[in-house]
Structure 1
Amino acid sequence: MDIRNIAIIAHVDHGKTTLVDQLLKQSGSFRDNQAVAERVMDSGDIERERGITILAKATSVEWHGTRVNIVDTPGHADFGGEVERILSMVDGVCLLVDAAEGPMPQTKFVTSKALALGLRPIVVLNKVDKPAAEPDRALNEVFDLFANLGATDEQLDFPHVYASGINGWADLELDGPRKDMSALFELILRHVPAPAQMARRDEPFRMLATTLGADPFIGRILTGRVESGRARAGDTVKALNRDGERIEQFRISKVLAFRGLTQTGIDEAVAGDIVTLAGMSKATVADTICAPEVEGALPSQPIDPPTISVTFGINDSPLAGRDGSKVQSRVIRERLMREAEVNVAIKVDDTPGGDAFVVSGRGELQMGVLIENMRREGFELSVSRPRVIFREEGGDRLEPVEEVIVDVDDDYTGVVIEKLTGDRKGELVEMKPAGTGKTRIVAHVPSRGLIGYQGEFMTDTRGNGVLNRIFHGWTPHKGPIQGRRQGVLISMENGVSVAYALWNLEERGRLFIGAQEQVYEGMIIGEHSRDNDLEVNPLKGKKLTNVRASGTDEAVRLTPPVRMSLEEAIAYVEDDELVEVTPKIIRLRKRHLDPHERKRQSRAE
């Protein structure tokens, strides 16, 4: 069967997973009476809840005798480590662009990788039926983006279609019949070349591992495109690292291929197809799986280095062990090591004491997803504030810088620019109108300055701003950056909070807890209105007497407390504070410092 391998790349929420739904339905991958969930490729609970693609996933459809392997790639930069390697196993890309928003930061990031690999994109202008859609402007912006990224003349001569993924149609003309996706299918068959590897089916077997996974029944599995030869279950192969050194030799226990939404066992994997192999114990992403007689590894993209680190520890608060069943450091370590096995963008290191672990990754969202998965599995743990990983080069200390693109109402541009370029040591790169009453701001800001900024940004823009960020590069260290300006309210008692006490504390600042909630000494219960920390008593009740006066015994009315999400809590805490995460609740608290640590901190101050 003829084969086409294609990846779909887009910014977050531009509709690529919905588009894949329609391609699957219209190609006959589902039975007529089959119940199919919306955004079927987003298989994880968190992916469905947040509407983002976290893990790259492959599927395949058949269209008029041709098998089209489709890879749905992550749209968020924190999971971009997947994207660069995915592109190495496809022969074409569909670049999906929202006709109203135009190309966005993560569009730029992934597109630059695709163009550098020589892939010729197909541009899909999605959501053209939205009232705010401007497909001609979006198309011109895509052309300008390609030109700025150094695209060749062949890449600049890209075909495009107008589409509505949610309504299931794609047409070559804006005023086309709007019936189905056949125009996009035909364009893929015409424009994307068949894999060059198909001509190398008689050579020895070679495959580059692109994604890593684990199956509860067959163990460690690796997915990639077969570069040459054939492979069957039972064949003996070896794994080579990027330098060509042998890692292990093993027997293939199973060969799986994507057929619709499921992976099914096949008799033989052939050059050009995207398949999954099982049977290895050590081989990982970027390794070459090949026949024993092959010498030398296939060229591969190195795994991107992590940019932030977070310390995971046991939950040692007075309320530990009440909600979760997995609380020991040994169990937490085993879970983190399992995650590091299947997620190559995460690195886990032990601390000297052995009861905490430094987890390094690509961003706050990636860490938040890992912690959320762990708490749903019954874990209790404490999490530190994210710290940026610095790099030493030529005697200079370098720090990561991110490109920030902000779409905001004209009224709020001043405060956003002041926060990004003043307090957070950023540099303004571009500022231009972005449609009706909006301005687009582009700035290069140190990653340190963006930790915890999202909540402040939403407050400054009254919830109307959109902020996107992407790793840009490294720059010399820019000196100290001011952290959170407000102090916190700290409980000085153990017990259950009292409404009357909280009512009196409201004038001191915003509260994070409500009445009748468990608190303990050292727990952060609110944000102080001033810049210093304040110890308060949330258990103090009203003094009772036998004297009654009109109006003094009215019911206490409390302002609803601020409830932080996991990512907001992690970004909010300072270096001397921790986030306590349990399956049922998220709390903030002051870190317990031993005398030596207190002495070291006082000397540093």
Structure 2
Amino acid sequence: MRTNLPAPSTRSSAYVRNLGILAHVDAGKTTVTERILFLTGATHKRGEVHDGTTVTDFDAQERDRGITIFAAAVSCAWDGHRINLIDTPGHVDFADEVERSLRVLDGAVAVFDAVAGVEPQSESVWRQADRYGVPRIAFVNKLDRAGADLDTAVASIRERLSTVPLVVQLPIGREGEFTGVVDLLRMRALVWHAGRETHDAYEVVPIPADLREQADRRRHLLEEAVAELHAAAMEEYCATSALSTGTLTAALRDLTLSGEGVVVLCGSAYRNRGIEPLLEAVVAYLPSPVDVPAMRGTWGDAVEERAADATAPFAGLVFKVNATATGRLTYLRVYSGAIEKGDTVMNAGTGRGERIGRILRVQADRHAELERAVAGDIVAVIGPKSARAGTTLCAPGAPVVLEPPAVTASVVSVAVEARRNVDTGRLSSALARLVEEDPSLAVRVDAETGQTVLSGMGELHLEVAVEKIRRTHGFDVEVGRPQVSYRETVVRGVSGLTYRHVKQDGGAGQFAHVVLDVEPLAAPDDGTAAQAFVFGSTVVGGRVPQEYVRAVEAGCRDALAEGPLGGHPVTGLRVTLTDGATHPKDSSEMAFRTAGRFALREALRAAEVALLEPVVELTATVPDDAVGGVLGDLAARRGKVSGQAARAGTAVLTATVPLAELFGYASRLRSRTQGRGTFTTRPTGYAAVPAAASGAVLAR
């Protein structure tokens, strides 16, 4: 066990690793986290997901369901380094928890199932990490399971994630006989002995004779792959036809930091095999706060940079808020400077001061008091009252706004109401707290029905939110049938739509004349989704002043809130202001904003508009004898099958299915497969609703 830390006076951000554990649901993220905490001495008993004894899955719902729902931060020490670790959810409904965590992390460990390889949510979280430029290493887990194969898992990493896997270990034994790994860097074997409960549970031994030739070959392949990607390694390789361990290690770190390659390790977290080398790789390859570029922010029109320097002005980003019975916890990544208990910082969004009452080192649901937090730390603070996820806290004398994490638009909604009228006020307060803690939830009041509508990322997301109200606030809630969030889009546009806004009721009047072209916005060639709205102006000669052009754009954006078909938001269109006219006295920004809003509404009524619905990629693993029934059921749900693969007595089916058709699908799949089938989904965007189905949707 190597948990020693440098003395506080000498410790720097170079000795810190801020990393997340990312994976598909059931790949073993939480078990990996538990083993890391146990081996580093942060815990004294190995927690198990199936027993409900894990540190990071401390919420009652997480333990009941056996999945991670909320991102949990923990801290431990290894080889003189402080490791701040966030265990993230693997279920697609909680992808925004992953998004907010990735925004404040410097590195990540991506965990893959050795049997399933890259699964849908593995791919999604990998793309999320790509967006934030987070360096990763990979850990292929569950090598002790039947059907586990490192090479197959690595091939799926290469094919589905479009990266170069750099495998630095070779398994010793297959499936139930898996006992250790060959370290291809130091050319030695690490063997774990069953039944040993000490922290450093592996023994270093010579490479087994039957693996020596394969180990030599794989070391050579690793050197070749690294030399192709790294200039300094290529020079040494050309001169000697080999790479020294020092050169290879340095090159692997450089390739990890640049994202040109991903180091791949393997093991079985449940059997406690492979975790020590994983920790060594975290320290060796993943970046410290001083290794990543300075965080860029803005203040007004100026671009500001905040480097990981404890002596610089303070700047930190809030990535999570949790309202507990003992106080409001604000989770914060400190990017520059330092804060001490009692300091006053500025909320960059509101301009108001916030007092730091307490600083806490977080250990899931337990906390340790700190006097000070410095650049590179991830801590929780008590005191700020208006900070939300994405809020920048900074030194009052050096204001800056850091880029907040993206928030995904909700796709599923349910109507909620308190079962007893006396609890209506409590329900409003509970919903407000939910949205404060989880920005991917949204609450609104339906203008027609007066119902309170809760929107989120999926059925499970909403189910967890409602159950949290019941458990935390102690009253029952009635929930309506889930409804998906539809969109409307322009299929065929209109040109030269003219609208004159004239209003005269005494005193100064209102006058605005606009001419609009409206057309559909095609998706780009790279396969990404089309933009929601693009506005442009071709007006010449100053017929519409620039400030009025901006007002027309604002009015058009107002009109996007409700489409002509069913009042759904409008997306995927381009609006061009081609002409207009003003009045010397009666024209104003308000008049042109009003004209833009009504002009676009008229244009949408004149254009051909189609209804869009959210669609998902469904991946179902079913027994071979149930494939026909499952395919038939998917067809009845308007699913389009895009792939089918055989895997050890089962079939893996991939299909694109409208989200609205998947309510209750879990029960249906269990029925058709005698409880042996499983499925996962991944959002893929929106698609046009067929004419036969759109009538039923609009009639609701």
TM, length-normalised to structure 1: 0.71
1:284 corresponding residue in structure 2: 388
Q: Distance in 1 between matches of 2:395 and 2:694?
A: 56
Which of 637, 642, 645 pairs up with 1:432?
645
C-alpha separation in 2, matches of 1:126 and 1:215: 34
Looking at structure 2, the residues matched to 32 and 401 of structure 1 have their Cα atoms a distance apart, in angstroms, of 43
Q: Is the 8 A contact 2:345 2:394 kept in 1?
A: yes
Asked whether the 8 Å contact 1:327–1:380 carries over to 2, the reply is no
**Shift, 1:131, TM fit:** 2.2
1:211 paired with 2:320, answer yes
Aligned to 1:39: 54
Q: How far apart are 1:51 and its partner, in Å?
A: 0.8
Aligned to 1:329: 424
- For 1:328 and 1:33, the matched residues in 2 are separated by 42
How far apart are residue 156 of structure 1 and its match? Answer: 5.5
Match of residue 548 from structure 1? none
Provide the rounded CA distance (Å) in 2 between the counterparts of 1:290 and 1:248: 11
Helix, strand or coil: the match of 2:103? helix
Give unmatched runs, 5+ long, in structure 1.
Answer: 171-180, 316-320, 484-573, 576-600
Query: How many Å separate the matches in 1 of 2:261 and 2:152?
Result: 17
Deviation at 1:478, TM superposition (A): 3.4
- The structure 2 residue matched to 1:145, chosen from 136, 142, 160, is 160
How many residue pairs get aligned? The number is 462
How far apart, in 2, do the equivalents of 1:419 and 1:450 lie? Answer: 11
How far, CA to CA, are the matches of 2:485 and 2:436 in structure 1? Answer: 21
The answer for the alignment partner of 1:442 in structure 2 is 654
Q: Does 1:123 align with 2:138?
A: yes
Aligned residue in 1 for 2:177: none
**1:58 to 1:213, Cα distance in 2 relative to 1, 3 A:** same
Give the SS at the match of 1:159.
strand
Q: CA deviation at 1:81?
A: 0.7
Aligned to 1:403: 617
Cα distance in 2 for residues equivalent to 1:214 and 1:16: 25
Alignment partner, residue 488 of structure 1: none
Q: Does 1:367 align with 2:452?
A: no
Give runs of aligned pairs for residues 582-597 of structure 1, distance below 5 A. Answer: none
SS at match of 1:303: coil
TM superposition shift of 1:33: 12
Distance 1:13 1:447, change over 3 A: same
Q: Compute the displacement of 1:343 (Å).
A: 1.9
Give the CA RMSD over aligned residues.
3.0
**1:18-29 equivalences in 2 (<5 Å):** 18-29=31-42
Cα shift at 1:199: 4.1
Distance 1:477 1:273, change over 3 A: same
Partner of 2:631: 417
Task: Quote how far apart the aligned CAs of 1:458 are.
Answer: 1.8
Mapped to 2, the partners of 1:33 and 1:59 lie a distance apart of 15
* Residues 260 and 369 of structure 1, relative CA distance in 2, 3 Å threshold: closer
Please tell me whether the aligned partners of residues 34 and 47 of structure 2 are also in contact (alpha carbons under 8 angstroms).
Answer: no
- How far apart in 2 are the matches of 1:31 and 1:409? 41
Letter of the 1:206 counterpart: A
Q: Secondary structure in 2 aligned to 1:14?
A: coil
Q: Which residue of 2 aligns with 1:302?
A: 406
User: Which of residues 458, 477, 493 in structure 2 aligns to 1:381?
Assistant: 477
Structure 1 residue 48, shift from structure 2 partner: 0.8
1:3 match: 16
Which residue is equivalent to 1:467? 679
Give, in angstroms, the shift of residue 191 of structure 1.
Answer: 0.6
Alignment CA distance shift 1:460-1:339 (3 Å): same
| Cα distance in structure 2, aligned partners of 1:78 and 1:199 | 33
Cα separation, 2, equivalents of 1:411 and 1:479: 34
Answer with 134-143 or 66-75: which moved more.
Answer: 134-143
Q: Name the structure 1 match of 2:271.
A: 167
Q: Residues 145 and 49 (structure 1 numbering): CA distance in 2 closer, same or farther, change over 3 Å?
A: same
Matching residue of 1:349: 444
Which range moved further: 449-458 or 72-81? 449-458
Structure 2 counterpart of 1:348, one-letter code = V
- In the alignment, structure 2 segments of 5+ residues that lack a partner are 1-10, 167-227, 230-254, 295-306, 488-569, 574-608
Query: Which residue number corresponds to residue 507 of structure 1?
Result: none
> Would the alpha carbon gap of residues 33 and 369 (structure 1) be closer, same or farther in structure 2, given more than 3 Å must change?
closer
**TM-score normalised according to structure 2 size:** 0.62
Residue 224 of structure 1 deviates from its aligned partner by 2.6
Q: Which amino acid aligns with 2:674?
A: R
The equivalent of 2:277 in structure 1 is 183
Matches within 5 A, 1:53-132: 53-132=68-147
Q: How far apart are the structure 2 equivalents of 1:34 and 1:351? A: 45
What is the CA distance between 1:139 and its match in structure 2?
1.7
Change (3 A) 1:134 1:149: closer
Cα separation, 2, equivalents of 1:398 and 1:276: 41
CA gap 1:346/1:27 in 2 versus in 1, 3 angstroms: same
Alpha-carbon distance in 2 for matches of 1:313, 1:49 = 25
The amino acid that maps onto 1:233 is K
Given that 1:424 and 1:482 are in contact with CA atoms closer than 8 Å, whether structure 2 keeps it comes out as no
The CA deviation at 1:117 is: 2.4
Cα distance per residue 1:208-238 (max 9 Å; x no partner): 1111112333x33321311111111222211
Asked if the contact 2:34–2:46 (Cα under 8 Å) also holds between the matched residues in 1, the reply is no
Structure 1 window deviating more from structure 2 (66-75 vs 371-380): it is 371-380
- Cα separation, 2, equivalents of 1:329 and 1:19: 43
- Shift of residue 427 of structure 1? 2.4
The match for 1:457 is 669
Structure with more of its chain in helix, by fraction: 2
Distance 1:442 1:96 in 2: 22
Hey, what does 2:337 align to over in structure 1?
229
CA-to-partner distance for each residue in 1:351-379, whole Å, 9 max, x for gaps? 45997411111110011112223344542
